[in-house]
Amino acid sequence: MAAGQSAIEARGVTKVFQGAGQDAVKALDNVFVSIRENEFFTLLGPSGCGKTTLLRLIAGFDFPTEGEILLHGQDIAPLPPFRRPVNTVFQSYALFPHMTVGQNIGFGLEMLGRPKAEIEARVNEMLKLVRMEELRNRKTSQISGGQQQRVALARALAPAPKVLLLDEPLSALDYKLRKDMQIELKRLQHETGITFIFVTHDQEEALTMSDRIAVMSKGKILQIGSPRDIYDRPSERFVANFIGDTNFLEGEIAGTAGSEAKVKLASGAVISAGLPEGFSGKNRVTVVVRPEHAGLTAPGKKADLSGKLENIVYFGTDTHYHIMLDGGASFMIRQQNSRGGGVGHAVGEAVGVMLEDHAAQVLKD
Amino acid sequence: MASAKEFLEASERKDVRDRWLLSLPALLIIFAAALGPLLVVLLYSFMVKGDYGDVKLWQWSTEGWFSVFFQRDIFDDTVSLADAHLTILWRSVWLSFLTTLLALIFGFPTAYFIATRPEGTRDIWLFLITIPFWTNLLIRTFAMMEVIRNEGILNTVLIKIGIIDAPLQILYTDTAIMLGMLYVYLPLMVLPLYASMEKLDFRLVEAAYDLYATRLRVLWRVIIPLVKPGVIAGSILVFIPALGAYVTPRVLGGGKNMMLGNLIELQFGQGRNWPLGAALSITLMAIVMVAMLVYVRQASKGTGSHG
């Protein structure tokens, strides 16, 4: 990617928090990431993976121990937060309790020294954007959580930042409201054309909203890609495990051709699987298959894998089939239910498993 | 139905009666211990002064109140303003105000410093702040005297490093009184300030930084409005005892630079004018009440105008 294209770029960013005495914590470990202009980029990972630290470094609340952070090619790592054209939506919203909704939204512009009339107009515009026109003169304590969320968004968007940082902004909302806000956020990003960097530990949120996702663990970025990439072609065990349900199959590489490999499983069956970028060429590998990328076949029919049906769990929208494969590994298949009824498999019966094309993926580790 | 209603009303009346009965001991103590003496002071201020102190009971006179503000010439009985009293009154108010202001200026960063320490070490800092309280007020005041007297630490050091040639006369001036009061009352400012800063959500400070507010503007627009309750409480806690201070002006003011507390003591002691002392006490109380009323109203108005 050309340097001019990226809105935010982290180059070899390391952040060490000096604890009391010897226990220094490495929150970020040599992170490289390039976030494109006008992109909805998500940092996804469990708590303590460093995603919020990275966000705080971009915002300027903390400074990197090593490395640079570039905004449109310019190093902003040494700048204080109030010198960066970057605004944050906080997890707790952090609305000023002694100001009204309107004063909160206008705060950034006021600090930038914009004329009163301009602030007035911009605040109205923002209120309209988040559909809160009638609440302008309310105190922030007098509005609901969802409304506070919108005010926090409007406040961060009002100064028209180059990049908007969102630190798990939806985590405090209930399920229904969260769904609405996901769509709302996507709309706002589209309408404003601002680069959004979104931090979350919710894989579903990440998959539905993002243009690209960076999966993080223990201060490192493990994989960056589109939601489909990340879900269909996870490159590491952690990524495969963290996002969605996955079947793990152990095997040996029997031969490679381009980005495809033949993998011989414990049962002796040979399947073809995609190779991840930067594959080390080791012999013993783990292959992952998403449960919905495989189907059951009747005994005797052509199949990639074979085994015994151990359990059938009905979930309404779909049914999970738990299979004990011949090699001793367990395997799960998810099939969408249709009104036509199930295929009529019974627990205990010998079944075959048919993998879809490109369903299997070799992991790097 | 009517009987049920009557029953409810009766039990409610009983409830109310019980509540009053139960709080009676507390109320008695409050009246006896707090309002009673105050009433005595008020009554004494309207009585005729005794020849050797005390008052002539049940002989009423407004002479005490008159001499708070006015004085009669001993020869021709012409009435003029009591300059000495007014000077002392003014000095008390002015020095207390300055003390409160300086305590706020020094106490604010101190409280902020403590509030921003890691949770575990805050208690140690608070503990250090309260250490002076363990020492007798008189001792602390004499310690201050030791620092500022002509041959004291301050002057010795200043002369040694060549900033001044002759010692600064600080002791027995208004400045000395103010320094002493500042030293004694500073913890009373720091503690309430810390209490409200500890509750301050520092994410709001980050949010303000993020929204292009410089450090100074964060202080003015976010931190100060949010810790205002602490500022008010601290100011009251410093201003009131400073106004009635007795020991500090007595020791550091050297007997010439009196404050209201000393004047009152004088009337009950050598002055043998109890009605005047009582009237002065009531005056002091009135000043405190008016000052607090104005201050609290102004301060809370400032908060209100934001919303």
pLDDT digits (tens, 9 = 90+) for A55-66: 999 999 999 999
Supply the angle between the helices A145-157 and A116-129 in degrees, to the nearest 10: 130
Q: Are strands A195-200 and A40-44 parallel, antiparallel or unpaired?
A: parallel
* This prediction's pTM: 0.79
Separation in Å, CA of B240 to nearest CA in chain A: 28
Sign, Cα dihedral of B265, B267, B270, B274: negative
Number of domains in chain B: 2
Highest mean pLDDT among A113-117, A274-278, B46-50, B61-65: A113-117
Chain B nearest-CA residue for A136: B307
Q: Do B306 and A94 touch (CB under 8 A)?
A: no
Using CA atoms, how far apart are residues A139 and A150, in angstroms rounded to an integer?
A: 14
Domain that holds residue B174: 83-304
> pLDDT tier at A130 (50, 70, 90 boundaries)?
confident
Asked if residues A216 and A52 have their Cβ atoms less than 8 Å apart, the reply is no
SS3 call for A87: strand
A254 touching B, CB under 8 A?
no
Residue A21's pLDDT is what? 59
Q: Clarify whether residues B157 and B237 are in a common domain.
A: yes
State CA A288 to chain mean position distance. Answer: 19
Query: How high is the mean pLDDT of chain B?
Result: 89
- pLDDT of A348 above 60: yes
Q: Clarify whether residues B39 and B87 are in a common domain.
A: no
For the stretch A190-225, pLDDT in tens is 988 899 999 999 999 999 999 999 999 999 999 999
Asked if residues A341 and A287 have their Cβ atoms less than 8 Å apart, the reply is no
Q: Do B226 and A98 touch (CB under 8 A)?
A: yes
A159 touching B, CB under 8 A?
yes
Residue A20's pLDDT is what? 60
Supply the angle between the helices B228-243 and B274-304 in degrees, to the nearest 10: 170
**Residue B56 falls inside a structural domain:** no
Q: What superfamily would CATH give domain A3-232? A: P-loop containing nucleotide triphosphate hydrolases (3.40.50.300)
Separation in Å, CA of B200 to nearest CA in chain A: 11
Q: Which of A98, A100, A108 sits opposite B212 (nearest CB)?
A: A108
Region A25-54: what's the mean pLDDT? 92
Region A341-345: what's the mean pLDDT? 66
Residue A279's pLDDT is what? 81
Residue A3's pLDDT is what? 42
Asked if residues A86 and A156 have their Cβ atoms less than 8 Å apart, the reply is no
A121 touching B, CB under 8 A?
no
Q: Are strands A86-89 and A163-167 parallel, antiparallel or unpaired?
A: parallel
Sign, Cα dihedral of B152, B153, B158, B161: positive
**Residue B163 falls inside a structural domain:** yes
Q: Clarify whether residues B29 and B104 are in a common domain.
A: no
Q: Do B211 and A159 touch (CB under 8 A)?
A: yes
Mutation target vs A (from B202, B212, B305; most A CBs, 10 A cutoff): B212
Region B201-228: what's the mean pLDDT? 93
Region A235-251: what's the mean pLDDT? 91
Q: Which of A20, A87, A103 sits opposite B210 (nearest CB)?
A: A87
Give residues with Cβ within 8 angstroms of B279, minimum separation 6. B45, B64, B65, B67, B68
Q: Which residues on A lie below 8 Å from B221 (Cβ)? A: 107
Q: Calculate the alpha carbon distances from B282 to A125, A237, B27, B85, B289 in Å.
A: 59, 80, 23, 14, 10
Q: Do A94 and B214 touch (CB under 8 A)?
A: no
**Residue B166 falls inside a structural domain:** yes
Supply the angle between the helices A116-129 and A101-111 in degrees, to the nearest 10: 130
Using CA atoms, how far apart are residues A311 and A321, in angstroms rounded to an integer?
A: 6
Using CA atoms, how far apart are residues A80 and A28, in angstroms rounded to an integer?
A: 20
Q: Which residues on B lie below 8 Å from A86 (Cβ)? A: 210
Separation in Å, CA of A204 to nearest CA in chain B: 27
Q: Are strands A86-89 and A247-257 parallel, antiparallel or unpaired?
A: unpaired
Mutation target vs A (from B124, B211, B305; most A CBs, 10 A cutoff): B211
Residue A68's pLDDT is what? 92
Region B104-121: what's the mean pLDDT? 93
- pLDDT of A122 above 50: yes
Using CA atoms, how far apart are residues B64 and A196, in angstroms rounded to an integer?
A: 76
Q: Do B208 and A99 touch (CB under 8 A)?
A: no
Chain A nearest-CA residue for B204: A94
- pLDDT of B307 above 60: no
Nearest one of A31, A6, A12 to A221, comparing CA atoms: A31
Region B118-147: what's the mean pLDDT? 90
Using CA atoms, how far apart are residues A231 and A208, in angstroms rounded to an integer?
A: 12
For the stretch B51-92, pLDDT in tens is 888 888 888 988 889 888 888 888 888 888 888 899 999 999
The conformation of residue A211, written as its DSSP 8-state character, comes to S
Q: Clarify whether residues B122 and B254 are in a common domain.
A: yes
A88 touching B, CB under 8 A?
yes
The domain defined by A245-362 folds into OB fold (Dihydrolipoamide Acetyltransferase, E2P) (2.40.50)
Region B140-162: what's the mean pLDDT? 91
**Residue B216 falls inside a structural domain:** yes
Region A113-130: what's the mean pLDDT? 93
Q: Which of A80, A98, A156 sits opposite B209 (nearest CB)?
A: A80
> pLDDT tier at A42 (50, 70, 90 boundaries)?
very high
Q: Do B213 and A59 touch (CB under 8 A)?
A: no
Residue A145's pLDDT is what? 87
Q: Clarify whether residues B244 and B99 are in a common domain.
A: yes
> pLDDT tier at A35 (50, 70, 90 boundaries)?
very high
> pLDDT tier at B233 (50, 70, 90 boundaries)?
very high
Residue B305's pLDDT is what? 41
Give residues with Cβ within 8 angstroms of A241, minimum separation 6. none
Q: Which residues on B lie below 8 Å from A123 (Cβ)? A: none
Measured CA angle at A358 (ends A356, A363), to 5 deg: 125
Indicate which CATH number applies to the domain containing B243.
1.10.3720.10
Which residue do the tokens 């009237």 mark? B279
Backbone phi, then psi, for A322, in 5-degree steps? -100, 125
- pLDDT of B295 above 90: no
> pLDDT tier at A341 (50, 70, 90 boundaries)?
low
Residue A248's pLDDT is what? 93
Q: Which residues on A lie below 8 Å from B213 (Cβ)? A: 82, 107, 111
| pLDDT-above-70 percentage for chain B | 97
Query: How high is the mean pLDDT of chain A?
Result: 89
Q: Which residues on A lie below 8 Å from B226 (Cβ)? A: 97-98
Chain A nearest-CA residue for B213: A111
Measured CA angle at A91 (ends A88, A95), to 5 deg: 70
Chain B nearest-CA residue for A89: B207
Region A154-168: what's the mean pLDDT? 94
Asked if residues B80 and B73 have their Cβ atoms less than 8 Å apart, the reply is yes
Q: Clarify whether residues B104 and B240 are in a common domain.
A: yes
Q: Do A111 and B206 touch (CB under 8 A)?
A: no
Domain parsing of chain A, residue ranges: 3-232, 245-362
Residue B54's pLDDT is what? 84
> pLDDT tier at B1 (50, 70, 90 boundaries)?
low
Q: Which residues on B lie below 8 Å from A80 (Cβ)? A: 209
Q: Do A94 and B201 touch (CB under 8 A)?
A: yes
Region B190-219: what's the mean pLDDT? 93
**Residue B106 falls inside a structural domain:** yes
Q: Clarify whether residues B34 and B91 are in a common domain.
A: no
Nearest one of B267, B297, B263, B287 to B88, comparing CA atoms: B263
- pLDDT of A4 above 50: no
Region A100-112: what's the mean pLDDT? 95
Q: Clarify whether residues B12 and B144 are in a common domain.
A: no
